[in-house]
Structures are given as C-alpha cells and as structure tokens.
Amino acid sequence: MTKFPHSARLMQRGTAFLGCETAILCGAMSWVSERHLVSAISNAGGFGVIACGAMTPELLDAEIAATRALTGKPFGVNLITMHPLLFDLIAVCGRHGVGHVVLAGGIPPKGSVEAIAAIGAKVICFAPTLALAKKLLRSGADALVIEGMEAGGHIGPVATSVLAQEILPELAEEHLVFVAGGIGKGQAMASYLEMGAAGVQLGTRFACATESIAHPEFKKAFFRASARDAVASVQVDPRLPVIPVRALKNKGTEEFTAKQIEVAARLDRGEVGMEEAQLQIEQYWAGALRRAVIDGDVEGGSLMAGQSVGMVKAEEPVADIIAQLMAECEEALERR
Ligand SMILES: Cc1cc2nc3c(=O)[nH]c(=O)nc-3n(C[C@H](O)[C@H](O)[C@H](O)COP(=O)(O)O)c2cc1C
C-alpha cells in the first residue's frame, strides 16, 4: 500500500510472510470467522483466518472451499491443539493448499508443527512467555502471535504492553512476531510496529463488521459496551484450572460461575476426572458463544469481547475498518 509508505515499510516482513497488502490479521473467532468475514478481510488487503473450533474435518473442508470461492487472496486456518482430530484437520488444510495454519489453545502436540510443515504451510503459534516463545521457534514455528489479557475470548494473565516489552526486543529482529490484544486504533499498531512487531492481530474490532454473520443483537451489545464491560471470568475452584475468558458481563457470565461450581462438585465426587471436567467447561463456552453469535441470545449466551469493544461503535465494512486503521497508523508514524 504505497498510500501508507511508513506503515508499509514497517509491515514489510509481515506482508511478505502472509502474502497480503497490510500486516493486519483478523484473529480467528469461533462462529464469527467463517467464509464471509474471512474472505472480506483478505479481499480488503488484510489476512483472514478461519476459526475451525470444534468443526469436523468434513465441515472444515467445506468451509475452506467456500472461502476460496469468495476470495483469490491468501487466508489461514486456526486449529485448536486439543481437537481430537487435529492431524486429520491438518491433512484437510494440505489438500486445499492452505498457506498458513495457526495453532491455538495450548502447546502444539508432538508432531503437529512437523505435520503442518510437511503439507507446505507456514506454522503460526501463540507464545504466552518469552521462554515458550523461544522453545516454539526452536521447534519450527515460522511466526508467533503474542496476545495480552485485554483480548476477547480465552486469555492469558499478562497485558499486551508487558508481553510486547518482554518479547519484542529479544526476538522481533530475527523472527516474525505479531501483537494481539487490545488494539482498536492505528496509533497502537504504529507503536507495536516501531517496537519491531511484524504486524498485528485484531478480533474485537472486526467481530461486528458488516460482513460478519454475527446476530444483530450480538452486534448491538458490542456497540453499547465500553471497555469496563468486557470482564475476565473468575476461577472458583483452585483445583479446577479454567482458562479465563473475556466477555461482556451478562447473565451468562454468572451462569458460568455456577457451571464451574457444578463441575468442581462432580470432580469432588469422583464422577469426572480432571480432563473431562476441563472439557466440559470448554464445551460450555463453545455452546454459549454459539447461542450469542448465531441465535442472538445476548443474555444467556457468551458475548466474548476484548477491552477494545468501547472503540466499536457501529457496523462498518471491513474495508473501511482496515482503511481507517492504516490511515491512523500512517499519521502516527508520519508525526514522529
Ligand atoms: C468472539 C471471539 C471469539 C474468539 N474465538 C477464538 C478462537 O476460536 N480461537 C482463537 O485462537 N482465538 C479466538 N479469539 C481471539 C481472537 O482471535 C484474537 O486473537 C483477539 O480477539 C485479539 O484481541 P482483541 O479482541 O483485543 O482484538 C476470539 C475472540 C473473540 C472476540
């Protein structure tokens, strides 16, 4: 994008790696990041990523084919590491010649990074700490995303600004690191790019784009919300490690607390093991998110959203959001 020379220069490594015009990834969002939003992002010069979530290989196959029909530009696929058919899903990506696979939800299981390399795709991993970032790069990750706790969805405990300071100065010169979590405006993109990031990943800002299939009620809840409404879930039982989720406060948030108490009691009574207990919690989230995104149940469903939700004011086409982010980023860099 020659219209934005300063940004283009700082994004150059990221755009070369992703094969798109701007190093802005739209992070995969379960139920939201399907063919329409993903193709719109890629068509607008960003990098769309399909959220595979709990899809079967057959469903993923159909989703990739449908996305391809809507865009000739590159896009990626986000796979959850604990999916029981992870290797089959990687094979599906291989059959479609998907260029980039993002592994989310924990440390990649043995052989998965190699399997993705073997289908000729680039591997992008989430790095929660500097030590793990180094380990993932040694194990073959081609690029990293560092995501702070301001983000929507499942989150780690550390803020984006702190992760960026810990990881970018150490790794960003030699490796590709994308920064995610809490980015709502181009000014923030500019500062992470200046710190060495190859690009950025946003979710919340794109969730309510015109092309997003999210229910109108889901979108309205985002437009009304401010940063302080996007709260992290609390863990109620120290024995039941639950990955916190950031979502808009509603009845569903309270129900989740009750769900944890119920699952912890079943764990106590020996009715379920730890793994099954954690799986039940994860399934609860997936179902609740579907109810909010697809059915528009904004009371009982999960309105996963990051703190940047306060900067989402109205439904806008993806191309306008990207153009605005780029203009803000360029203006900030120009002023330096
Ligand atoms: C509604 C919603 C659903 C999400 N689902 C997923 C997911 O299925 N897999 C994943 O890796 N990240 C998921 N995320 C995280 C995003 O991919 C992205 O990294 C995050 O939204 C970036 O931070 P931001 O929300 O502050 O922009 C989700 C985020 C939101 C808001």
Q: Where are the domains of the chain?
A: 5-213+312-335, 226-304
**Which 8-state DSSP code applies to residue 304?**
B
**Residue whose C-alpha is closest to residue 132's, from 189, 181, 170, 76:** 170
Residue 191 pLDDT > 90: yes
Q: How does residue 138 score in pLDDT terms, banded at 50, 70 and 90?
A: very high
The SS3 assignment for 294 reads coil
Distance CA 28, CA 40 (A): 13
Distance CA 250, CA 248 (A): 6
Helix (H) or strand (E) holding 199: strand 199-202
pLDDT at 249: 96
pLDDT at 144: 98
User: For the chain, what percentages of helix, strand and coil (3-state, to nearest 5) are there?
Assistant: 50, 15, 40
Ligand 1: residue whose CA is nearest its atom 16:
27
Number of other CB atoms surrounding residue 275 within 10 Å? 9
Residue 1 pLDDT > 70: no
The DSSP bridge partners found for residue 102 are 78, 124
154 Cβ contact partners less than 8 Å away, ≥ 6 residues apart: 105, 243, 244, 245
Q: How does residue 243 score in pLDDT terms, banded at 50, 70 and 90?
A: confident
pLDDT (mean) for 148-158:
97
Name the least confident of 64-68, 78-82, 273-277, 301-305. Answer: 273-277
Number of other CB atoms surrounding residue 21 within 10 Å? 19
pLDDT (tens digit per residue) in 89-132: 999 999 999 999 999 998 999 999 999 999 999 999 999 999 99
For residues 1 and 22, the answer to whether their CB atoms sit within 8 Å is yes
Full strand arrangement of the beta sheet holding 153-154:
153-154, 245-248, 230-232
pLDDT at 118: 98
Query: What are the backbone angles phi and psi of residue 325, rounded to the nearest 5°?
Result: -60, -45
pLDDT (mean) for 233-258:
90
pLDDT (tens digit per residue) in 18-34: 999 999 999 999 999 99
Kindly give the distance from the C-alpha atom of residue 204 to the centroid of ligand 1, in angstroms, as a whole number: 7
| Tokens describing residue 127 | 């790095």
Mutate to test the pocket of ligand 1, among 24, 26, 29 (most ligand atoms within 8 A of CB): 29
For residues 240 and 264, the answer to whether their CB atoms sit within 8 Å is yes
pLDDT at 279: 82
Q: Is 306 close to ligand 1, i.e. is its CB under 6 Å away? A: yes
Identify the residue whose tokens are 């229910």: 215
Kindly give the distance from the C-alpha atom of residue 29 to the centroid of ligand 1, in angstroms, as a whole number: 5
Distance CA 169, CA 164 (A): 8
Share of the chain above pLDDT 70, in %: 100
pLDDT at 241: 81
Kindly give the distance from the C-alpha atom of residue 202 to the centroid of ligand 1, in angstroms, as a whole number: 8
Cα-Cα-Cα-Cα dihedral sign, residues 64, 182, 200, 126: negative
pLDDT (mean) for 25-48:
98
Helix (H) or strand (E) holding 126: strand 122-126
Q: Is 200 close to ligand 1, i.e. is its CB under 6 Å away? A: no
**Residue whose C-alpha is closest to residue 159's, from 131, 136, 179:** 179
Ligand 1: residue whose CA is nearest its atom 19:
27
Residue 239 pLDDT > 90: no
Given the CA of residue 205, which atom of ligand 1 is nearest to it? 27
pLDDT at 235: 87
pTM above 0.85, yes or no: yes
Q: Is 150 close to ligand 1, i.e. is its CB under 6 Å away? A: yes
**Which 8-state DSSP code applies to residue 14?**
H
pLDDT (tens digit per residue) in 309-335: 999 999 999 999 999 999 999 999 999
pLDDT at 71: 98
Q: What CATH architecture does domain 5-213+312-335 belong to?
A: Alpha-Beta Barrel (3.20)
pLDDT (mean) for 52-81:
97
308: left (phi over 0), alpha (psi -120 to 50) or beta: alpha
Distance CA 321, CA 133 (A): 30
pLDDT at 173: 97
Helix (H) or strand (E) holding 285: helix 274-293
pLDDT (tens digit per residue) in 154-177: 999 999 999 999 999 999 999 999
Residue 42 pLDDT > 60: yes
Mutate to test the pocket of ligand 1, among 34, 204, 212, 218 (most ligand atoms within 8 A of CB): 204
